[in-house]
Amino acid sequence: MLKTLDRYIIRQFLGTFFFILVVIMLIAVVFDLSEKTREFATMKASAREIVFDFYVNFIIYYSNLFSGLLIFIAVLLFTSRLAHRTEIIAMLSSGVSFPRIMWPYFLAATLLTGLSLFVNHQILPAANKVRLAFEEEHIRATYFVDAKHLHREITPGTISYFESWKAKEQMGFRFSLEHWDNGILTKKLNADRAEYDSLSGAWRVSDYVIRTMDGMTGSIQRGYLLDTIIDLKPSDMGQRWETSMAMSSKELDAYITSKIAQGDDDLTPYLVEKYQRTSYPFATYVFTLIGVSIASRKVRGGTGLHLALGVFLSLLYIFAMKLTTVAASNAGLAPVLAVWLPNVLFAIVGVLLYRQAPK
């Protein structure tokens, strides 16, 4: 059963966090609205779509994104206030141990971690799907991206290649389609251009040459236009990594599996998104441990000094997260390690600070 001390700390923790969250989100919406005023005035979206399709989901996304850091600041603020009023010293002097004081903090952190996990895996993908669809229709031209030298294994033994791909036009240049049987090339199509027809689902190739190999003999067929249906779509060429945020966990796993089967090795952003949905909520425990360990000590400068140190550590955490994700993309660092490493490193920092906290 929760005691008076537990209820007091939990109420202060959650109250401070949600107050900061509301203030920050209001500021974020005001700034974003001021930047997009001209776009909103010229686009065809209704006021209802702007409010409910975009900004409601905008708030859900950024609330969850910044929740860990806002929890850190909330812990620093109200714990520093407790220390400044010598309430921490009074608790310790009355025989309450520091680990006992930490108990309600971690109860509240567990509640917020569970909430963040639920939002990340259940609510946020659906919210992002609506938000990104709004951006796709009214703000951004397309989800898809241009690329070069694209190899895709459509089915076992059937391999396509584009020297260059233009996403907006849904068109690729220097296209080839190879059919292999037991390691032997049996048929190959080369075309100067291949364009996807979204109505029929077929590909129209231009200036093509088809070579058929049959043992020591073969044939060549040339033509100007040819419609062919293959199990390949423009989305298979590559999408902006943001689209992974609109996929449920099940859809994201299926997408990664399909990309691996197609021979696409550019999966790091999707793997980072997959692992980050779990790793980032657990940073709440790390931020709580560090925040209480720092702010529980009464120092000259009080809340201002604690807040400055908190902001510095928050920026350091963001830098570490960006550094490891870049290392995953460019230096071969495993994505699962990239998203969990900042938590592990800051957890070590938290333990060291905890050992220095007043007992």
Question: Torsions phi, psi of 212, nearest 5?
Answer: -110, 125
Do 153 and 132 belong to one domain? no
Looking at residue 328, its pLDDT comes to 84
Answer yes or no: are the C-beta atoms of 267 and 283 closer than 8 Å: no
Say yes or no: 276 and 134 in one domain.
Answer: yes
* Domain stops at, among 237, 255, 290: 237
Residue 249, domain member (yes or no): no
What confidence tier does 124 reach under pLDDT thresholds 50, 70, 90?
very high
Contact 70, 17 (CB under 8 A): yes
Same domain, 180 and 210: yes
Per-residue exposure over 273-306, b if at least 16 CB sit within 10 Å of its own CB, e if not: bbbbbbbbbbbbbbbbbbbbbbbbbbeeeebeeb
CA distance 308 to 263: 48
Say if residue 129's pLDDT is above 80: yes
**Residue the block writes with tokens 């050992």:** 355
Task: Supply the DSSP string of 50-115, one letter for each residue.
Answer: IIIIIIHHHHHHHHHHTHHHHHHHHHHHHHHHHHHTTHHHHHHHTT--HHHHHHHHHHHHHHHHHH
Domain identity same for 160 and 86: no
Is 247 among the domain residues?
A: no
Whether residues 189 and 127 share a domain: the answer is: no
Answer whether residue 257 is part of any domain.
Answer: no
User: Which of 216, 237, 258 is where one domain is finished?
Assistant: 237
> How sure is the predictor about 247, in pLDDT bands with cuts at 50, 70 and 90?
confident
Q: Does 196 share its domain with 160?
A: yes
Confidence of residue 18 (pLDDT cuts 50, 70, 90): very high
Considering only CA atoms, which of 346, 264, 304 is closest in space to residue 73? Answer: 304
243 falls within a domain: no
| pLDDT surpasses 90 at 235 | no
134 in the same domain as 9: yes
Between 107 and 182, the more confident residue is 107
Mean pLDDT for the chain? 83
For residues 169 and 127, membership in a common domain is answered with: no
Q: Is the pLDDT score of 151 beyond 80?
A: no
Of 20, 71, 64, the residue nearest 313 (C-alpha): 71
182 and 42 housed in the same domain = no
* Domain count along the chain: 2
Please tell me whether residues 127 and 25 are part of one structural domain: yes
Q: How far apart are CA 339 and CA 287, in angstroms?
A: 16
What does the pLDDT look like over 284-299, one tens digit per residue? 999 999 888 888 876 6
What is the pTM for the complete model shown? Answer: 0.74
The answer to whether position 260 is within a domain reads no
The reply to whether 262 falls in a domain is no
- pLDDT of 143 reads 52
Residue range(s) defining the domain that contains residue 176 = 147-237
| Of residues 293, 301, 280, the one with CA closest to residue 354 | 293
Contact between 30 and 103 (Cβ < 8 Å)? no
Among 197, 221, 237, where does a domain finish? Answer: 237
Please indicate, yes or no, whether residues 16 and 106 belong to a single structural domain of this protein. Answer: yes
117 and 52 in a common domain: yes
Query: Which range (15-29, 175-189, 257-271) has the least confidence?
Result: 257-271
- Is residue 244 in some structural domain? no
The structure tokens listed for 150 are 């694209």
Domain assignment present for 242: no
